[in-house]
Each structure stands twice: as structure tokens, then as C-alpha cells.
């Protein structure tokens, strides 16, 4: 569902990324005539995927129907899609989705790379572990909690940010309720939550760089920065490329949980994205068909993007998205 999960999986795959042992081919399988116990083990999972992932695809036909509370729905073809593409509201949420994703790409994406480079320069391992333990934490907090933390920290009356602004003689601002600042709150809260944790991926890539390369650079008289630019950065370029492509693949997921919890009536038009729009018009206003159409539109674009990302990544780095 969320960007998050996919990034978690990307992290997890780092652990799994050990060379395959050669003896997979040892023909244990030959000795097992009946595979039925394995199919029995697969069964509950397969039933789950059919019911909760494939059946909803069939249910998405609602996008082409008028919803009836009683009796069968009426087939109306592309009516709801036409309504959608005619509505200014939809283009607003589409634009917001793209803008927020692009802002995150520009301002959040580079931060973990920088963090990993800096962490790598900390020689004392105890201090390094302390820094890492602290900055990974927010990744495991829910967006409800993070929204609560940001509301408190950005509060005009008692928040720490406005208190610091006060030292400089600046008057307090309600960052959460001003349309000029809310997108930056989205960007910054994303950074607060995931920059630390994402740096782990790059840090793992740095750790995998052959130490001899550093030794060689040192012999050539390279200083710290020259080593970073000539050894470390090239070493993590494939990881940067893979994650950049993955992020492009997930461009339509601007962050439902985040926007849903940070939004309020004063700023909704600035950060309402397709996902929150689907929730609002579907589950709150009961326009089920229109909401399904919007969701389906996003699903199809998302599918194209992620498949393209996978193909490109596979071709460039030899590693796909899955």
C-alpha cells in the first residue's frame, strides 16, 4: 500500500542480498513425489491473496457503474471518469500529488545520502551507534503520533519552533494552518521521519565498499573530501540510482497516512492528494463510483510507473524493484 512498506522491503532486501549458495540444485525435490503438503501450506495464503487482492480488482468495476443501495448497479461505462476529468477538484488533487512527490524527491531524497556520508566519517563506534539509534526511531512511529508531535512542536503558543523564532524577534506563525507553509510541513515531517532510517541503506552500501580502495586513495595522498568524492560516492551510486528509480516508481503515492493526519480544513486544498480525495469523496461523501474511478486511475498510472521503474532499474543496475 504505502511507500513505506516498499522502502522497508528495500531495506530488508539488503540483508537478503548475500550471494546464493550453489547447492540449491541438490535434488531434494526429486525425492518428494507428492508435493501436496506444500500446496496445503500455500493454501491459506493463496486464499488470502484471492479474496483480499484479486477480488477487489473485480470489485473495481464499480468505477464503471452507478452505485445502487438496493438492487444491481447500473453499467454506465466511462461516465465517472469523464466527470472526474471534467472536475477542477480532481486536477487540483492530481497536481498536489505530483507537487508533493516532487518536493519530497528534491528535498528529502538527498538527505539520507548526506547523513550516511557524515555518519561514516564518525570514527568512534559508540558515538556512531548512538547517533544511528536516535535518528532511526521516528520511522517506527505512526503518522498519527508524528502529526501529534508536529502539532505540539509547531504550536503558535507553546511550540518549540515559534519559541526559537521569538528569540530572533519573529512573531509566531501557525505553520500547520497556513496554506503557504503546510507543504513544507509535509516535506519536513517526511524528512524527520525517514531521512535517518533511509540513511541506513546508503550506510550499508558504504560499508560494502572494498577498504583497499580507501588505502589506495590514501597512498595517493587523498584527503577526506577527495576520498568521499572519488571512492565513497562512486561506491554508492548504484544504490542511489536504484532508490531514485524506486521513488519515481512510487511517485503517485505522495503519502496517504501523512497527509491524512497533517491535514485540516484551513490547508486541505494545498495538500489534498488523490488518496485522501478517494477517502473523502468515497467513504465520507458516499460517492463510491467516482472515488473508485479516481482510485483506479491512480492504480493504473502507479502500475505503469512501477513496472517501468523495475525494468529500467534491472537494466541499469541488474537489480529490480522486487
Within 102-121, the residues that bind another protein by CB under 8 A are 115, 118-119, 121
Task: Tell which positions 191-250 bind another protein, by CB under 8 A.
Answer: 192, 196, 200, 204-205, 207-208, 223-224
Q: How many CA atoms lie within 13 A of 105 on its CB side?
A: 19
Q: Tell me the C-alpha distance between 171 and 165, whole Å.
A: 7
Nearer to another protein, 19 or 71 (CB): 19
Only one of the segments 86-94, 142-150, 179-187, 311-319 lies at the binding site for another protein (rule: CB under 8 A); that segment is 142-150
Under the criterion CB under 8 A, does residue 80 sit at the interface with another protein? no
By C-beta, is 46 or 266 nearer to another protein? 46
Three state DSSP letters for the chain: CCHHHHHHHHHHHHHHCCCCCHHHHCCHHHHCCCCHHHHHHHHHHHHHHHHHHHHHHHHHHHHHEECCCCCCCEECCCHHHHHHHHCHHHHHHHHHHHHHHHHHHHHCCHHHHHHHHHHHHCCCHHHHHHHHHHHHHHHHCCHHHHHHHHHHHCCCCCCHHHHHHHHCCCCCCCCCCCCCCHHHHHHHHHHHHHHHHHHHHHHHHHHCCCHHHHHHHHHCCCCHHHHHHHHHHHHHHHHHHHHHHHHHHCCCCCCHHHHHHHCCCCCHHHHCCHHHHHHHHHHHCCCHHHHHHHHHHHHHHHHHHHHHHHHHHHHHHCCCCC
Binding of residue 26 to another protein (CB under 8 A): yes
Interaction between residue 97 and another protein (CB under 8 A): no
Does 64 participate in binding another protein (rule CB under 8 A)? no
255 — alpha (psi -120 to 50), left (phi > 0) or beta?
Answer: left
Quote the least distance from Cβ 251 to another protein, whole Å.
Answer: 14
Euclidean distance between CA atoms 267 and 182, whole angstroms? 7
Q: Looking at 142, 226, 237, 285, which residue binds another protein (CB under 8 A)?
A: 142
Site for another protein in 30-59 (CB under 8 A): 30-32, 35, 37-39, 41-42, 44-46, 48-49, 51-57, 59
Check binding of 21 to another protein (CB under 8 A).
yes
Q: Does 145 bind another protein (CB under 8 A)?
A: yes
Using rule CB under 8 A, residue 8 touches another protein: yes
Taking CB under 8 A as the criterion, the residue among 64, 96, 291, 313 binding another protein is 291
| Closest among 204, 188, 312 to 255, alpha carbons compared | 188
Q: How far is the CB of 216 from another protein (least distance, A)?
A: 20
**Cα(163)–Cα(205) distance, integer angstroms:** 39
* Among the residue ranges 12-20, 79-87, 97-105, 177-185, the one whose residues contact another protein (CB under 8 A): 12-20
* 278 lies in the binding site for another protein (CB under 8 A): yes
- Report d(CA 110, CA 243) in Å as an integer: 11
Cβ proximity to another protein, 28 vs 219, nearer residue? 28
For another protein, the binding residue among 93, 147, 250, 267 (CB under 8 A) is 147
Residues 151-180 that bind another protein (CB under 8 A): 151-153, 155, 158-164
Q: Considering only residues 300 through 319, tell me which ones interact with another protein, judged by CB under 8 A.
A: 300, 302-303, 306-307
CB of 105 to another protein, least distance (A): 21
Tell which one of 3, 62, 245, 246 touches another protein (CB under 8 A).
62
- Residue 61 beta carbon to another protein: minimum distance, rounded to whole angstroms: 9
Q: Rule CB under 8 A: is residue 257 a binding residue for another protein? A: yes
Q: Does residue number 99 form part of the binding site for another protein (CB under 8 A)?
A: no
Amino acid at each position: 500500500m504505502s511507500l513505506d512498506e516498499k522502502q522497508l522491503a528495500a531495506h530488508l532486501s539488503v540483508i537478503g542480498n548475500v550471494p546464493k549458495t550453489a547447492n540449491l540444485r541438490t535434488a531434494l525435490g526429486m525425492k518428494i513425489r507428492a508435493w501436496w503438503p506444500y500446496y496445503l501450506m500455500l493454501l491459506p495464503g493463496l486464499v488470502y491473496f484471492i479474496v483480499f487482492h484479486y477480488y477487489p480488482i473485480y470489485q473495481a468495476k464499480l468505477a464503471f457503474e452507478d452505485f445502487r443501495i438496493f438492487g444491481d448497479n447500473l453499467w454506465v461505462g466511462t461516465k465517472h471518469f469523464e466527470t472526474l476529468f471534467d472536475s477542477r477538484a480532481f486536477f487540483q488533487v492530481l497536481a498536489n500529488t505530483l507537487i508533493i512527490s516532487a518536493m519530497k524527491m528534491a528535498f528529502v531524497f538527498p538527505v539520507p545520502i548526506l547523513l550516511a556520508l557524515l555518519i561514516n566519517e564518525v570514527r568512534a563506534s559508540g558515538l556512531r551507534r548512538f547517533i544511528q539509534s536516535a535518528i532511526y526511531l521516528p520511522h517506527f512511529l505512526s503518522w498519527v503520533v508524528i502529526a501529534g508531535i508536529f502539532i505540539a512542536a509547531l504550536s503558535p503558543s507553546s511550540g518549540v519552533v515559534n519559541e526559537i523564532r521569538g528569540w530572533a524577534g519573529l512573531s509566531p506563525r501557525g505553520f500547520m494552518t497556513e496554506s503557504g507553509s503546510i507543504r513544507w510541513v509535509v516535506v519536513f515531517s517526511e524528512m524527520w521521519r525517514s531521512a535517518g532510517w533511509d540513511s541506513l541503506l546508503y550506510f550499508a552500501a558504504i560499508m560494502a565498499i572494498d577498504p583497499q580502495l580507501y588505502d589506495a586513495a590514501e597512498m595517493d595522498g587523498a584527503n577526506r573530501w577527495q576520498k568521499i568524492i572519488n571512492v565513497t560516492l562512486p561506491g554508492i551510486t548504484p544504490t542511489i540510482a536504484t532508490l531514485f528509480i524506486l521513488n519515481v516508481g512510487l511517485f503517485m503515492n505522495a503519502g496517504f497516512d501523512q497527509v491524512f493526519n497533517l491535514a485540516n480544513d484551513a490547508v486541505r486544498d494545498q495538500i489534498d492528494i488523490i488518496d485522501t480525495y478517494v477517502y473523502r469523496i468515497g467513504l465520507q461523501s458516499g460517492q463510491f463510483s467516482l472515488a473508485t474511478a479516481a482510485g483506479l486511475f491512480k492504480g493504473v498510472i502507479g502500475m505503469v510507473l512501477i513496472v517501468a521503474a523495475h525494468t529500467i532499474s534491472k537494466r541499469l543496475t541488474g537489480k529490480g524493484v522486487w
